[in-house]
Amino acid sequence: MSEHKEQFQKIGIGVLIGIFVFAISLFLFNPTQASLLGLIAFLVALWTNEGLPLAVVSLLPIVLFPAFSILDTKATAVNYSHPIIFLFLGGFLLAIAVEKSNLHTWIADKMLGLFPNTPRGMIFSLAITSGLLSSILSNTTTTLLLMSIALFITDDIKLKLRFALAIAYGASVGGIMTPIGTPPNLILLGIMSDKGMETIPFFQWVWMVAPLAFLMFIVVSMILSLGVPNTPIHRNGEKVPLNTTQKKVLYITGGLVFLLLLNAPMKPFWGGLGLSEAGILLSAGLLLFMPPFNVLEWMDDKAKIPYRIMFLFGAGFSIAKAFSATGLASEVASYLIVMTELHPIVLLFAVATLITFTTEITSNTALISIMLPVIYSVAQQTGINTTLFMMVATLCASYAFMLPIATPPNAIAMSSGVVDVKSMIRYGIVLNLVGIFLIVMIAEFFWKGILT
């Protein structure tokens, strides 16, 4: 009975937070937009205090958005079949096969042979490996490929949490290193081209952003390493050769990585194969059920698929759609115009902060698509370097570390079962603030001289 009382209290707290945000928002937005903000606050509160199961909260938009005339049921529900959800499904099927075949122990042993076999050494190596892969592959794909390996390096649940976050945060940090690393980067280049601006060449982008990524790798790894023991992680058991099942999974994984690398465009040298990453990853996952592989069996392995995280993705995409459909994103962006009297560096901090924390509750792709044209107008009015201003906004859209709905890597870390929302918020808010500071400082004192 006490458990039910505690649950009612948590739900009640979420309702009160939602009503409070709704009431405050009425001073700035119309009733529909204020209702959306109130509902988002309610959902975030329940995700945070775990008043209801994660999957239940994630399905609530299908009920609440139509009830409050924000989106109809069809427009809301369609977001739960977004292509990235099937990319996630394919990657997780592969992760299940890695675990089932015990291949992860062999891969973990190889990793421990390359890097210092201490918790701190593994945190640094996982973050950097994830970041480097993420610069040429999607953040989601990279996180899926590495997550199943990291969770079996140790049995310590606290270290598992830090390893999972190292991969997720490393993927977000490294995704900005190339123009193709994450969708907001490509959106920036596309809008610059549409506006007749000179786009940033591939290798100039890498040279500009590498110092930022390097510093963030160090910060992420150091923060996640705080308080961990410096005792060696010992290999368990004797080395044994790969068995037939492990070889099958390894062949599929190797083939998948090779195909993804071929599919990734490296302009101007290589345009990529043009295949859908979601289709590639789902195909790899489905192959595991087919001859000659036959590694997975649906009846035995379906229970391991984290449907709750798939619903979480759907909720995030629904919120992004609602932001656009209600005009809330454009309305928020319009308030930036009144800030054009500020000193340019103060304005940069304001935009960086707004983008970073707004990205926590909506898709970075959707947000940056809406915000960049407005930021272009703001930059034109302030006299600040337009490319510099837009670059800061774009990179901040990828540096959201607090909530599982903020980025696919965050959601995948949650799906591992070793990361809770409170821990993600605790580490994430520090990294958000550090990211904002470093991006603005590097923009002001490094990029400014290049982008004149």
CA 434 to chain centre: 17
Closest by alpha carbon to 100, among 252, 232, 233? Answer: 252
Q: How many CB atoms lie within 10 A of CB 360?
A: 21
Determine which helix (DSSP H) or strand (DSSP E) holds 386, and give its type and residue range. helix 386-398
Kindly tell me if the per-residue pLDDT of 206 is higher than 90.
no
- pLDDT bin (cut points 50, 70, 90) of residue 391 is very high
Residues 230, 111 contacting (CB under 8 angstroms): no
More confident residue, 428 or 338: 428
What are the E-state strand segments in 256-298?
none
Kindly tell me if the per-residue pLDDT of 9 is higher than 80.
yes
pTM exceeds 0.85, yes or no: no
Least confident span in 31-35, 83-87, 108-112, 362-366: 108-112
Q: What is the predicted pLDDT for the residue at 347?
A: 84
CA distance 102 to 242: 10
* pLDDT, tens digit (0-9, with 9 covering 90-100), for 83-120: 878 877 888 788 788 878 888 667 766 766 677 778 88
DSSP 236: P
- pLDDT bin (cut points 50, 70, 90) of residue 25 is very high
Q: What is the predicted pLDDT for the residue at 212?
A: 95
- pLDDT bin (cut points 50, 70, 90) of residue 74 is very high
Give the tokens for residue 150. 């990291």
What is the sign, positive or negative, of the torsion defined by CA atoms of 353, 356, 359, 364? positive
Residues 136, 180 contacting (CB under 8 angstroms): yes
* pLDDT, tens digit (0-9, with 9 covering 90-100), for 436-450: 999 999 999 998 888
Determine which helix (DSSP H) or strand (DSSP E) holds 204, and give its type and residue range. helix 202-225
